[in-house]
Structure 1
Amino acid sequence: MEEQGRKGRRLLLFPLPLQGHINPMLQLANILHSKGFSITIILADNFNTSSNNIRANYPHFTFHTISDGISEDEKAKIDIDVLSLLSLFNEKCVPHFRKVLRELVLEDSNIVCLISDSILHFTKAVADRFKLPRLVLRTGGVCSLLIFAAIPLLRNKAYLPLQESRLEEAVEELPPLRIKDLPLFKTCNVDALYQVIEGMIRETKASSGLILNSFEQLEQFSMSKLRHDFPIPIFPIGPFHSHFPASSSSLMSQDQTSISWLDTRPPKSVIYISFGSVAAIEVNDFLEIAWGLANSNYPFLWVVRPGLICGSEWIELLPSEFLERVDGRGHIVKWAPQQQVLAHPAVGAFCTHNGWNSTLESICEGVPMICMPCFGDQMVNARYVSHVWKVGVQLENGLKRTNIENAIRMLMEEEEGKQIKERMLELKEKANLCLKPGGSSYESLRSLTSYISSF
């Protein structure tokens, strides 16, 4: 009956156009569509590869494409500095977003609100202009959001910028973090970075509400602090991807041989390695990972995304000696259907960069992690995995083949690994229960749909 009342009420969703942000926004769109809302997705087209894949997989949504306003020359200058790109996006996309919002609001009187990625802080002023309530989606964890909110404090206390000589020191105000666990960004423009973060926090606090891809039992202490510091309605309704069977919003083509190869392997025997869709690693780190996998003697499925290795196309730098040694034991692909891989009974451990989506997917499938964070909130997530939830082990002080081999053996063979697996299965059970009737995310979703319906 409630869903009938929402028929025809339309929500506008605007994701940050990076793979790790598009995925949760489309999952959220699916969740809200299942509750009776009509969905329009606004996609910025020039920012990355074609959105045709997405449109084909979501025929039940309406799509509008806008320009990001960033010229090819500006993109070329920025190269791989994602933070400078985000800063430019918040500046250059404004007129294009304003134009499409005006057209949509004039065309359809049933539009009830905008849901935008929290990083797109410029959308607040535009939505206000059209008297449209704006909800914010935080695609990362609550633990890292609190760190971003604390950046002025961290700068005042001289924790930031990071100093090599102090990396091991504890951040007293934010246990269990050390200075080396604070979000790290490679950028040539630190001021632009702080402006993006400051804008994100300020406009999130000024929004009509905050939607989280997390659940109470995972980040209870952080959620309590968030509710104290952010005086807005907060809706933790995650894990998003667990609401439905896996559907693809991948901008890259997935190699399905990953699954048929896993089918030939014994239960819990395979190490899965993936660094997500944005992270880049140095050649030396790539080779250390390769030899760590080879020396562990465990079968492995390794996602080597084109562009993952700085200065290299794909796997041409792997020595023939390595390829001969792992022949038949290792399977290397350019991109894999990760949710299916982690759910496969053959997978025993996940070597991950600890992006939030990957971390949540690993928890939901009960796969213990070997943490290899690269930048940003990944550092915070890895510390929480290893020292708060204790469902993985973090590789410290660079990637070395012996450390990688030892971490794999510890997780797969030793008593400590057995305890980590037991804790991971308990956390998996909590992740499953929170979505069932009466569970925390189930109830939070009911509150969210009622709240949106009240606009």
Structure 2
Amino acid sequence: MDEMQMEMEAQAQAHVLLFPWPQQGHINPMLHLASVLLDAGLHVTFLHTDHNLRHRFARPHHPTRLRLLSIPDGLPDDHPRAVGGLIELLDSMRTAGSAAYRALLLTESSRSRPDSLDDAPPPVTCVVVDGVMPFAITVAEEIGVPALAFRTESAFAFLAYLSVPRLLELGENPVPSDEQVRGVPGMEGLLRRRDLPRVVPTKQDDVDAEEADPVPVLLTIADTAAHCRNSRALILNTAASMEGPAIARIAPHMRDVFAVGPLHARVATNTIALEKHEDDDDYGCKAWLDGQDDRSVVYVNLGSLTVLSSEQLAEFLHGLVAAGYAFLFVLRPDMVASSSAVLQEAVEAAGERALVVEWVPRDVHYVLRHRAVGCFLMHGGWNSMLEAAVEGVPVVCWPFFADQPVVSRFVAAIWKTGLDMKDVCDRAVVERMVREAMESPEIRASAQAMARQLRLDVAAGGSSSSELQRLVGFINELSAVHV
């Protein structure tokens, strides 16, 4: 058998199990990875939690060739699984979820190989697990199945996570301060203490109140990052053109690193749909956007976990109204308590210039690429940042927690594709920054230049495309040895 035949045989037998952390911002990029691995000819199984598969996702909303399995997460079905319950979800996944994952992986990896007439997939030969779940790496390797880690934050943020022990040693905790930090290699003179990753924040106007000690949570986050070195390789949803220096700093800590993003830019919009919501009603978004002038709309979406006080919502809405532009505001039902009065007031003031919806359609990218959208006011989540970057849309970042403060700093200080509004929720600031993002030719030029480069990165011969080919070869090699 020649080398080409051996490679084809390995690819035919390679079967990757993908296991994301069960939150939307982690599931979506893992689904994009599933799609590109399927396109590369690999067998792929996607592991949901039972709760997500029942309540949030359904087979028609996945690539048709994607095999779905699920395990319990150990929480009651009515548990909110929102930002306030993330620690409970983490603990439950480490116990009940880990046991169920072990049992499933033992079965999937030891199954007999199908004959040529059988439609069943071959046994699982490799897993790609979300790097925030160290147990998933450990369990797979104990069973004898090679494990790769996939991290869904930016490379710069992951480097900051790796640096948490050093940051704490230097007393450089994340607080609203402009004091520069020394504990993140390569980012001296850039990151301030206010730019460091954070745990779930308390109310911003209550900084003097007694707070829970964030150090244990930060150390847990750092441990998950460090544990990725126990995997066979680290996969990052980023491009070298955006984060080359951080990738280079991370590489010595890992066995291998693959920068294959932005993954969503490789997936055709009609190939994969990510979110199930009733009858896929778009709440009139497209029709409303079609009726607006070019680059006249501010798109506001603060992600799937951000929560606001009614006072903060009032500042956002009044600032948007004062800016004078039309705005499309995605306001989740669980985002704000007692928001109806201030919402009604602001929408009445804006009139036809405002559309407030609970959700945007599955194909969220059509909103950002719509000719009417002029800027994106968002939370600094990495998925949202990549979506805006690929479409060349200027952004205003109001980070909430986790890696978002790091991203917002790079948006304003390094990439210059937008503005950083962290630690401030004031209508005058919202008004000023929205106007600047909508009107600045320098910001728009930087955003469009980044978009052009990212499209080159994911095209044939680009850096991310080449890294993806290398990743597929790496998985085939691991699978061949495992067989």
* TM-score with structure 2 setting the length: 0.87
Alignment counterpart, residue 307 of structure 1, candidates 334, 342, 350: 334
Q: How does 1:354-365 map to 2 (within 5 A)?
A: 354-365=380-391
Q: What residue number does 2:323 align with?
A: 296
Q: What residue number does 2:180 align with?
A: 170
For 2:334 and 2:299, locate their aligned partners in 1 and report how far apart those are by CA, in whole Å: 19
Verify: 1:239 aligned to 2:262, yes or no. yes
**What's the CA shift for 1:48?**
8.6
Give the letter for the 1:169 counterpart.
E
Q: Deviations over 1:270-316 (max 9, x none)?
A: 1000011111111111011110111111111110011111x24xx51
- Structure 1 stretches of 5 or more lacking a match? none
Q: What residue number does 2:118 align with?
A: none
Q: How does 1:40-439 map to 2 (within 5 A)?
A: 40-46=45-51, 50-53=55-58, 56-71=61-76, 75=79, 80-109=84-113, 110=122, 111-160=124-173, 162=174, 167-173=177-183, 174-175=187-188, 176-186=190-200, 190=214, 193-194=217-218, 196-228=220-252, 230-246=253-269, 247-252=272-277, 255-256=281-282, 257-309=284-336, 311-312=337-338, 315-318=339-342, 320-337=344-361, 338-413=364-439, 417-439=440-462
For 2:227 and 2:128, locate their aligned partners in 1 and report how far apart those are by CA, in whole Å: 13
Give the letter for the 1:398 counterpart.
V
On the 8 A contact 1:45/1:66 being kept in 2, the answer is yes
On the 8 A contact 1:255/1:334 being kept in 2, the answer is no
Alignment counterpart, residue 465 of structure 2, candidates 438, 442, 446: 442
The 1:321/1:120 distance shift into structure 2, 3 A limit, reads closer
Q: What residue number does 2:33 align with?
A: 28
Give the letter for the 1:122 counterpart.
F
On the 8 A contact 1:210/1:234 being kept in 2, the answer is yes
Give the letter for the 2:107 counterpart.
E
Give the letter for the 1:300 counterpart.
F
Task: Please give the secondary structure, in 1, of the residue aligned with 2:315.
Answer: helix
On the 8 A contact 2:302/2:379 being kept in 1, the answer is yes
The 1:397/1:78 distance shift into structure 2, 3 A limit, reads closer
On the 8 A contact 2:127/2:140 being kept in 1, the answer is yes
On the 8 A contact 2:56/2:276 being kept in 1, the answer is yes
Q: Deviations over 1:13-33 (max 9, x none)?
A: 101110000000010000000
Task: Please give the secondary structure, in 1, of the residue aligned with 2:240.
Answer: coil
For 1:83 and 1:355, locate their aligned partners in 2 and report how far apart those are by CA, in whole Å: 19
Q: Deviations over 1:176-198 (max 9, x none)?
A: 11101111112857465245324
For 1:250 and 1:365, locate their aligned partners in 2 and report how far apart those are by CA, in whole Å: 20
For 2:296 and 2:80, locate their aligned partners in 1 and report how far apart those are by CA, in whole Å: 43
On the 8 A contact 1:11/1:37 being kept in 2, the answer is yes
The 1:214/1:352 distance shift into structure 2, 3 A limit, reads same
For 2:8 and 2:412, locate their aligned partners in 1 and report how far apart those are by CA, in whole Å: 41
For 2:83 and 2:442, locate their aligned partners in 1 and report how far apart those are by CA, in whole Å: 43
**What's the CA shift for 1:81?**
3.8
On the 8 A contact 2:197/2:406 being kept in 1, the answer is yes
Give the letter for the 1:353 counterpart.
H
The 1:341/1:400 distance shift into structure 2, 3 A limit, reads same
The percent identity for this pair of structures is 29
Give the letter for the 2:461 counterpart.
G
For 1:79 and 1:371, locate their aligned partners in 2 and report how far apart those are by CA, in whole Å: 19
**What's the CA shift for 1:5?**
5.1
On the 8 A contact 1:33/1:39 being kept in 2, the answer is yes
